[in-house]
Chains A and B, each alone.
Chain A
Amino acid sequence: MARHRHGDARSRRIALILFAACAVVAVPTLAILFSIAKKPASPWFGQYDPDTHPAYNFSLTDHDGKTVRLQDLRGQAVLLCFGFTRCPNICPTTLGNLAAVYRKLPPAAQERTKVVFISVDERDSPASLKEYVPFFNERFLGLTGPPADIGTTARAYGAFFRKAPAAGSDKDDYLIDHSTYTHLIDPEGNFRVLYRFEQLPETDRIADDVQRVLGMPAPEKQP
Chain B
Amino acid sequence: MNRFLCPLFLSASLVFAGDLKIEDAWIRAVPPSSKTTAAFMTIINKSDRPVLITGGTCPVAQEIRPMITTKQGNGVMGMALAESFAIPAKGKRVFEPGGDHLMLMNLTEVPKAGSTVPLVLTAESGGVKSHIHLDAPVR
Residues of A that sit less than 8 Å from B by CB: 85-86, 88-90, 92-93, 96, 128, 131-132, 135, 160-161, 164-165, 167-168, 173, 175-181, 196-198
Contact = CB atoms under 8 A, between A and B. Distances in A.
A194 to B, nearest CB: 9
Contact of A197 (B30, B34, B62, B75): B75
Contacts of B72: 177
A135 B76 contact: no
Contact of B78 (A86, A128, A177): A177
Nearest to B105: A168
A135 B79 contact: no
The size class of the interface chain B forms with chain A is 20 to 34
A88 B95 CA distance: 14
B38 interface: yes
Contact of B33 (A88, A131, A181): A131
17 contacts: A86-B35, A89-B98, A90-B98, A92-B38, A96-B97, A132-B34, A135-B30, A160-B76, A164-B78, A165-B80, A167-B36, A167-B67, A167-B79, A167-B105, A175-B79, A177-B78, A179-B74
A77 to B, nearest CB: 21
B69 interface: yes
B18 interface: no
B30 A88 contact: yes
A183 to B, nearest CB: 11
A133 to B, nearest CB: 8
Nearest to A128: B33
A93 B78 contact: no
